[in-house]
């Protein structure tokens, strides 16, 4: 799923929810559930906070959204805590 956006702010809430759910199904996101994403309020939890959360795990969220090969790379190399393995960072 490529959303082709330069900024996380330009992605619609519904598209962002679909993307987060895809990450849960693909076992990239290990802490959240689909129900949590459905109930998530993007006012109280801003998208930039979510972006920083993934940056702290070594994952570039914008690149993850826009680059299918990077998405597949992350999917294969994410550890049990949901962080990208240090030696696998692109």
Q: Most confidently modeled of 1-5, 22-26, 85-89?
A: 22-26
Query: To the nearest whole number, what is the mean pLDDT of the chain?
Result: 86
In a domain, 75, yes or no: yes
In a domain, 90, yes or no: no
What Å distances lie between residue 52 and 27, 45, CA to CA?
A: 19, 11
Q: Distance between CA atoms of 5 and 65, rounded to whole angstroms?
A: 8
pLDDT reading at 82 higher than 60? yes
What pTM, to 2 d.p., does this model score?
Answer: 0.83
In a domain, 1, yes or no: no
Cβ(64)–Cβ(70) below 8 Å: yes
Q: Distance between CA atoms of 55 and 61, rounded to whole angstroms?
A: 7
User: What residue numbers bound the domain in which 27 lies?
Assistant: 10-83
Please give the residue that has the higher pLDDT: either 42 or 26. Answer: 26
Looking at the structure of the chain, the number of domains it has is 1
In a domain, 59, yes or no: yes
Cβ(27)–Cβ(21) below 8 Å: no
pLDDT reading at 83 higher than 70? yes
Average pLDDT over residues 26-54: 92
């Amino acid at each position: 799923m490529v959303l082709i956006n330069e900024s996380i702010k330009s992605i619609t809430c519904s598209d962002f929810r679909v993307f987060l759910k895809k990450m849960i199904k693909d076992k990239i996101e290990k802490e959240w559930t689909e129900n949590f994403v459905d109930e998530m309020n993007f006012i109280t939890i801003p998208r930039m906070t979510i972006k920083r959360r993934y940056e702290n795990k070594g994952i570039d969220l914008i690149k993850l959204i826009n680059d299918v090969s990077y998405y597949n790379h992350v999917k294969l190399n994410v550890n049990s805590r949901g962080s990208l393995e240090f030696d696998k960072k692109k």
